[in-house]
Amino acid sequence: MRKIFIVVAVIFAACSSPNEIPDDVLGINEMKPIMWDMLRAGSLAQNLSGIDTVKIRDISTNSYQQIFQLYGISKEQFYDSYQYYIEHPDKQKILLDSVVGYANRKRMELFQNMHAQ
């Protein structure tokens, strides 16, 4: 009986999906808009500050805090999730491809709204 339990436990463990993301990690659909906003905030900080790296850091830090607040997450949640994606390149690729697709859709919406006026 014990052998059957061990075999069933091993089969169950082997059948768990390797594509599942842990509960404490923000999913791709949650991370996608956050990443897009953070990339835009970093770019804006660089454009506003020129080559002053201290100013870039200050503006970016303030912007990132606002983004975390907007999405109702903590800095730790974001960076722990980001670290997870770095450690799982297959999932990171999906995330980055999703961000690119999201960015393209947002740009297209903006373009369409500008020409509809």
Provide the residue ranges of all domains of the chain, joining segments of one domain with +. 2-116
By three-state DSSP, how is residue 46 classified? helix
Please tell me the distance from the alpha carbon of residue 64 to that of residue 33, in angstroms, as a whole number. 13
Residue 39 pLDDT greater than 60, yes or no: yes
Res 93: pLDDT: 97
Q: Structure tokens of 70? A: 């907007």
Which of 75, 55, 57, 53 is CA-nearest to residue 66?
Answer: 75
Residue 13 has pLDDT above 80, yes or no: no
- The CA R_g of the chain, rounded to the nearest whole Å, is 20
Q: Evaluate whether 102 touches 33 at the Cβ level (below 8 Å).
A: yes
Average pLDDT, the chain: 85
Q: What is the pTM for the complete model shown? A: 0.74
